[in-house]
Amino acid sequence: MATRPYVDRLTCILEYEGPRAFSAEEVAAQEDLFLERSALFFTPTAHVPREWIGAGVLDVTLPIPSPSHDELDSLYGYRTPRLWVDLLQRVTWKLRWTPMHPARVTYTRYDCTLLPDHWIIGGTKAITDALKVRTAGRTDGRILHYFGAIRDDGPNDLIVTYLQRTVPTPGEAKMRVRVEPL
């Protein structure tokens, strides 16, 4: 019988057993928890060690701007909050964030072209979802745990402001995301 390589890594456990939440003990036992971050979408923040949870005002610049309407149609990855969770984790070096409620979210999109307002709103939907603590939007009913800087995206939970700035070249495009308490 073949042995499973790296059997204690969370990503390997998911591969063999399917989606599930990990206990605080399983999470704490990881040699490189940041490497295992993609396995934590089913695990509540309460099971993540405190040193991996950020707090306070979140003010980060992501290396890609929110997508245009055409990019949303053509490039599926832009529509998934998991892409944006990964980018938030990479720029903060944190797996989760302490939620602010109510919160103000300010998106500043830097790109060569200014987009119509409704494209900006649609293009930031997956980023807003990524900022939430969790979502129950899966067809199988499983709860997904996201970055967690905001509690939810309802009208009583946050105010969103959308700004745009032009840059000379596509290589300078980016997205600033600021989350602060109201």
pLDDT tens string 83-101 = 999 999 999 999 999 999 9
pLDDT recorded at residue 30: 95
40/125 same-domain check = no
76/143 same-domain check = yes
77/118 same-domain check = yes
37/75 same-domain check = no
Mean pLDDT on 39-52: 97
73/31 same-domain check = no
Whether residue 66 has pLDDT greater than 50: yes
83/166 same-domain check = yes
pLDDT tens string 130-181 = 999 999 878 888 999 999 999 999 999 999 999 999 999 999 999 999 999 9
Q: Choose one of 13, 29, 48: the last residue of a domain.
A: 48
44/56 same-domain check = no
pLDDT recorded at residue 61: 99
* pLDDT tier, 55 (very low <50, low <70, confident <90, very high otherwise): very high
Task: Round the average pLDDT of the chain to a whole number and report it.
Answer: 94
* pLDDT tier, 116 (very low <50, low <70, confident <90, very high otherwise): very high
pLDDT recorded at residue 1: 43
7/35 same-domain check = yes
pLDDT recorded at residue 6: 58
Integer angstrom CA distances of residue 47 from 13, 56, 134, 150: 16, 20, 14, 18
The H or E element containing residue 104 is: strand 103-111
Integer angstrom CA distances of residue 166 from 49, 70, 108, 115, 148: 40, 19, 10, 10, 29
The domain total for the chain is 2
pLDDT tens string 12-44 = 999 999 999 999 999 999 999 999 999 999 999
58/104 same-domain check = yes
59/19 same-domain check = no
118/78 same-domain check = yes
Domain containing residue 113: CATH number:
3.30.1330
Model pTM score = 0.93
Nearest to 40 by CA among 62, 76, 13: 13
Q: Which domain holds residue 134?
A: 52-181
38/81 same-domain check = no
